Amino acid sequence: MKKYKIAVAGTGYVGLVAGVCFAEKGHNVICVDVDENKVKMMKDGKCPIYEENLEELMIKNYKEGRIDYTTDFKAAYKDADAIFIGVGTPEQEDGSANLSYVATVSRQIAESVEKDCLVVVKSTVPIGTNDKVEQFIKDSLAHNVKIEVASNPEFLAQGHAVRDTLQAKRIVIGTESKEAETKLKEIYEPFGLPIVSVSRRSAEMIKYASNDFLALKISYMNDIANLCELVGANIEDVAKGMSYDPRIGSSFLHAGIGYGGSCFPKDTKALKYLAKQHGYHLKTVEAAVDVNEAQKTKLFKKASERLITFSGLKVAVLGLTFKSGTDDLREAPSINNIELLLKNGSNIYAYDPVGMENFKKKYPTQITYVNTLEEALKDANVCFLFTEWEEIRNIKPETYKKLMKTPLVYDGRNMYELDEMKKNGIEYYSIGR
């Protein structure tokens, strides 16, 4: 196996996971971040994000000398064989992707590289961005070196990012030369995974098309779930019947209160924006965005129909992150609902096993954070369930009955059996059932 010297720009979900996994497969990796405190934390073996198995691999590969962390981009980039860009491309107000971080790294690369180098964009970027990155770097080069840019989008799911990288279903690479294609294939050779090699623009589109298709499945099932409630069908029975069809599959058929996180909301809006820029309306994607936005507050609307007021009520909120297995709050449905609950005078007591510290940054004093599920439920008038953490799923129905003043439960993740909740005297509302 040929070992490469790899620099990775950015140490968020994309960059840090990629860097650690490259090191795990034997390459020599240097991860670059602007935050000195974050770099020190990583050198000390502490992971800045909550991600299964990531910290263990960070510690292992740092001790074995295959990975390091720095703020000195010039030293990191100057003699790298390949530089992977894994910085954020946050959503702007109009839905377009903010490429300022990608541009900053591109300029730093141009000023620093002193040998021929392959620059690989892992960040999710609009179609055509890789072309612009390559031209921008070439226009700004400080030394007479050869630079090529390739696209290599990631397809990891937060909470399982390490597994999804080391055991990916496929690796997508987009290149414009045989030399760049060969180099990227050699970098990924030790992973032993299927490689889909296409043009740069096709690789960029594969990322958006994949994420948006999954978002479409979620919004479709939520739409059907809403209709199930009106006609007396059960969405879980419907999903089970659908899942046996291999053309449909069983993944992403779970109804709930909408998708969140760093990918689906941003990527659906970005592709919708890109299409409009080209005079085209992606009607299916636009519908998915609209359905998801309405779905997020479905539980609050249900509770509003049941209760005359939220003012002065103790409201238990279990689960704050957008899904289990992560501390990420981006586009989490809990935020939309808590905002409405606060406006209506609720006294919110919140619990999440990993997300509370991040949530305190958004709501430092407006809500009460508790250390146990039981504290949140004690004497509560109503309970909202927003995240499918295992310890929330494992709450016995009788616990709600015993601890709550009024056993009134609104479940956005369909975690409990209808009959069990009813048998235990719980007034229970879920999605599509």
Instruction: Give the model confidence (pLDDT) of 28-84 as tens digits.
Output: 999 999 999 999 999 999 999 999 999 999 999 999 999 999 999 999 999 999 999
Instruction: Give the model confidence (pLDDT) of 318-341 as tens digits.
Output: 999 999 999 999 999 999 999 999
Tokens standing for residue 87: 């910085």
Report the C-alpha gap between 329 and 358 in whole angstroms: 7
Q: How far apart, in Å, are the Cα atoms of 170 and each of 31, 126, 433?
A: 24, 21, 36
CA pseudo-torsion sign 7, 9, 11, 15: negative
Q: What is the DSSP string of 163-176?
A: HHHHT-S-EEEE-S
Tell me: do 99 and 246 sit in the same domain: no
pLDDT at 282 (0 to 100): 96
Tell me: do 277 and 318 sit in the same domain: no
Per the structure, the count of domains in the chain is 3
Contact criterion met (CB below 8 Å) for 308 and 344 = no
Residue 262 has pLDDT above 90, yes or no: no
Instruction: Give the model confidence (pLDDT) of 340-398 as tens digits.
Output: 999 999 999 999 999 999 999 999 999 999 999 999 999 999 999 999 999 999 999 99
Q: Where are the beta strands (DSSP E) in 90-170?
A: 117-121, 147-151
Q: What is the CA radius of gyration of the chain?
A: 24
Residue 1 has pLDDT above 90, yes or no: no
Q: Work out the percent of the chain whose per-residue pLDDT is above 70.
A: 100
pLDDT at 115 (0 to 100): 96
Last residue of a domain, one of 263, 293, 323: 293
Query: pTM score, two decimals?
Result: 0.92
Tell me: do 286 and 303 sit in the same domain: no
Q: What is the CATH number of the domain that holds 246?
A: 1.10.1040.10
**Mean pLDDT taken over the chain:** 96
Q: Which residues are catalytic?
A: 263
List the domain range (segments joined by +) for residue 368: 298-429
Report the C-alpha gap between 396 and 417 in whole angstroms: 11
Last residue of a domain, one of 251, 273, 293: 293
Report the C-alpha gap between 49 and 330 in whole angstroms: 13
Q: What is the DSSP string of 323-389?
A: STT----TT-HHHHHHHHHHHTT-EEEEE-TTTHHHHHHH-SSSSEE-SSHHHHHTT-SEEEE-S--
